[in-house]
Amino acid sequence: MRYNEPEFKKAVEQYKKAIGKAKGKVFLVTFPLSNKAAFLSIAPLSRAIHELGADLNVSGFVKKSESLEALQDFWSTYERYKAGEMDETTDALKEFVKEAEKKAKGLEKFMKGPDFILKAGKTGFEGSFEPKYNYKGILCRTILTRIHYAGA
C-alpha cells in the first residue's frame, strides 16, 4: 500500500494519544466491510497499537459475524465461570478447562477476551475509547479499486 508518510505518521500519533498506555493489552476491532473509512483507518490504528506494545485483532464482516457472536458468548461464559457463577454452560466450561489443562498446560490463559473492543461507527470507532477515523494519509483510489475487484 502507498501512504502519504507525513499524514500517516500524524494519524498514528493521534491514535496513540487517544489510546494512551496499552503495553501488553489486546484489542479487537470489528467493522462491516462496507465501511471503507473504518477499513482504511485500520492501517494507522494498527501501527499505533503495535508501537504501544499491544496486540490487535481485526474482524471484518459482510452482514453479521456468527463467529464473532460465538466468541463473545464464550468470553461472557468464561467471565461468569471465573466469577464463580455456576450454571449449565459454566459447569461445562469448567470441565473442559480441567480436561484441556491435562493435555496443554497454560491453555486457559488464552480463553480470556480482549482488553478493548472497538466497533466501527459512523465517524469513528466506538467502545472502550472512541477515536475518530483517520485515513487521510492513505491513497484511497488504489486500495478501493483493489477492494472492489476482490468482491468486497
Strand pairing category for 125-127 and 116-120 = antiparallel
CB 29, CB 37: distance < 8 Å: no
pLDDT score, position 140: 52
Confidence band (pLDDT; 50, 70, 90) for 137? low
pLDDT score, position 8: 85
C-alpha 144, offset from chain centre: 22
Average pLDDT over residues 23-52: 92
Give me the helices (H) in the chain, please: 5-19, 36-51, 66-82, 88-103, 140-150
More confident residue, 21 or 146: 21
